[in-house]
């Protein structure tokens, strides 16, 4: 028998069978992937951009939550995702209209999920044993399904999934980070309580002892509650930002300290702040395990503020903590040189101030934050051309959509109304995106 042929002749002799195998494999792959790709395309078409839209059929949803979605027209490739969780008596649409996460998504290109409770209380389940364990059922499972739907449909970046919430939503933020530490990169909780603090076994959604701030544990005990939600997990834990008012009479202020104990323990950092400052009048900010904007734990205490502490401007600070206040992983270009002209028109207890911001560089400014300090006794009561936060002390004016870009040599005019106790002078120093401006 002659030897088996090699080279081109040998390859040709085996081609028909091999070719048939390859064709069958390609056909099978096409049949399996084409419907999935088509489904993703259809899902995207069903969610119009820049419009709050309800999504149904998103996956496992044992407690019948509703899913509302905001996809900006400028959504980035592989976008980040922010889950914004409402307060008791609220809803997804109320959270959409009452916070700035959607308008900031227009600037930074991430997607916002707004879960919405359908049970009569309109409060999220942060109490039942099912809610406090990974995959245990109830609301966290439905919210996780919403995240999975967005990841599948938009190719979202699974390393940039975040949660934030107010009151009941803040408590759910704590729960989500405990139940799904591999899903969420960080959270921001406004007026919440620690993970597990609201636990009940009688079916009640309310825990009076926790609400009154009388439930205390050691840091290790609080940390063990979080670790027990997903006992098989040993990977990195999500960072946490905490906000609370000292005059909160709904979820009392001691809960703030207990949250700090819990999350510093979970993240393995000390109980002593690495940095303490006051970013706004009446605010005390402590950072644990680091001194920068993305410390493992950041806690902001608001002196004399009650339960309803969220105000415009805070969402931008959340995005800074999340690392979403830029359109991509590359830091934004250095801010342009600037000049600010400030004038006031005063009466006995009030004033209006006009600010003209001029870009004196050769590079366009695309999105801006103007920082300045109000004279003592002045409090902003309204404004135009920008959002202002906080209302006194060191203030940041953030552009609105129609004046976000300042071309080289161009100017924008903004202003505010303020009350005063005698000093009606304008601010004397300004920064634009962190760079000092000239005045005059």
Q: What is the pLDDT of residue 330?
A: 38
Q: What is the pLDDT of residues 75-88, one digit of tens each?
A: 999 999 999 999 99
- Distance separating alpha carbons of residues 438 and 340, to the nearest angstrom: 6
CB 291 within 8 A of CB 275: yes
Q: What is the pLDDT of residues 194-227, one digit of tens each?
A: 999 999 999 999 999 999 999 999 999 999 999 9
Residue 101 has phi, psi (to 5 degrees) of -65, -35
The H or E element spanning position 72 is: none
Q: Which residue has tokens 């509302």?
A: 68
Q: Enumerate the β-bridge partners of residue 243.
A: 190, 300
Distance set, CA 66 to CA 55, 59, 86, 107, 179 (Å): 8, 11, 12, 26, 20
Residue of 338, 336, 337 lying closest to 356 (CA atoms): 338
Q: What is the pLDDT of residue 40?
A: 58
Q: Which of 167, 191, 391, 392 is catalytic?
A: 167
Q: What is the pLDDT of residue 237?
A: 95
CA–CA–CA angle 44, 46, 48 (5° rounding): 80
- DSSP conformational letter for 147: H
Residues in the chain, pLDDT under 70: 1-46, 327-336
Q: Enumerate the β-bridge partners of residue 398.
A: 369, 387
Q: What is the pLDDT of residue 335?
A: 45
- Between 168-179 and 139-154, two packed helices, what is the crossing angle to 10 degrees? 70
Residue 229 has phi, psi (to 5 degrees) of -70, -30
CA–CA–CA angle 214, 218, 219 (5° rounding): 115
Q: What is the pLDDT of residue 42?
A: 59
What predicted TM-score, i.e. pTM, was given to this entire model? 0.69
- Distance separating alpha carbons of residues 255 and 199, to the nearest angstrom: 14
Give the count of alpha carbons within 13 A of 138, CB side only: 20
Q: Catalytic site residue 167?
A: yes
């Amino acid at each position: 028998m002659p030897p088996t042929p090699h080279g081109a002749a040998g390859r040709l002799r085996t081609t028909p069978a091999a070719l048939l195998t390859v064709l069958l494999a390609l056909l099978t792959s096409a049949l399996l992937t084409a419907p999935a790709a088509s489904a993703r395309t259809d899902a995207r078409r069903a969610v119009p951009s820049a419009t709050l839209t309800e999504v149904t059929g998103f996956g496992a949803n044992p407690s019948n939550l509703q899913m509302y979605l905001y996809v900006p027209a400028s959504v980035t490739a592989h976008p980040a995702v922010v889950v914004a969780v409402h307060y008791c008596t609220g809803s997804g649409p109320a959270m959409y209209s009452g916070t700035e996460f959607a308008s900031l998504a227009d600037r930074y290109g991430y997607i916002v999920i707004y879960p919405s409770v359908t049970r009569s209380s309109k409060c999220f389940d942060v109490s039942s044993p099912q809610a406090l364990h990974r995959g245990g059922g109830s609301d966290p499972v439905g919210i996780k399904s919403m995240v999975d739907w967005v990841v599948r449909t938009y190719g979202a970046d699974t390393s940039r999934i975040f949660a934030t919430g107010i009151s009941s939503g803040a408590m759910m933020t704590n729960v989500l980070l405990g139940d799904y530490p591999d899903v969420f990169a960080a959270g921001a909780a406004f007026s919440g309580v620690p993970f597990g603090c609201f636990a009940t076994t009688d079916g009640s959604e309310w825990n009076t002892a926790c609400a009154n701030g009388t439930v205390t544990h050691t840091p290790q005990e609080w940390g063990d509650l979080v670790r027990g939600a997903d006992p098989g997990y040993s990977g990195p834990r999500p960072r946490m930002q905490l906000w609370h008012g000292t005059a909160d009479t709904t979820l009392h202020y001691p809960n703030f300290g207990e949250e700090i104990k819990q999350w510093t323990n979970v993240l393995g950092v000390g109980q002593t702040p690495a940095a303490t400052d006051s970013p706004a009048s009446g605010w005390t900010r402590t950072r644990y395990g680091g001194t920068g904007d993305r410390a493992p734990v950041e806690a902001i205490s608001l002196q004399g503020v009650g339960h309803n502490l969220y105000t415009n401007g805070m969402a931008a600070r959340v995005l800074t903590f999340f690392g979403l206040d830029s359109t991509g992983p590359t830091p934004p270009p250095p801010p342009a040189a600037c000049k600010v002209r400030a004038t006031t028109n005063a009466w006995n207890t009030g004033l209006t101030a006009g600010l003209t911001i001029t870009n004196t560089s050769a590079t366009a400014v695309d999105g801006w934050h103007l920082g300045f300090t109000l004279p003592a006794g002045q409090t902003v009561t309204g404004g135009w051309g920008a959002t202002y936060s906080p209302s006194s002390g060191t203030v940041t004016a953030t552009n609105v959509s129609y004046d976000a870009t300042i071309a080289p040599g161009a100017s924008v005019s903004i202003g505010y109304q303020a009350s005063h106790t005698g000093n009606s002078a304008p601010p004397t120093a300004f920064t634009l995106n962190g760079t000092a401006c000239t005045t005059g």
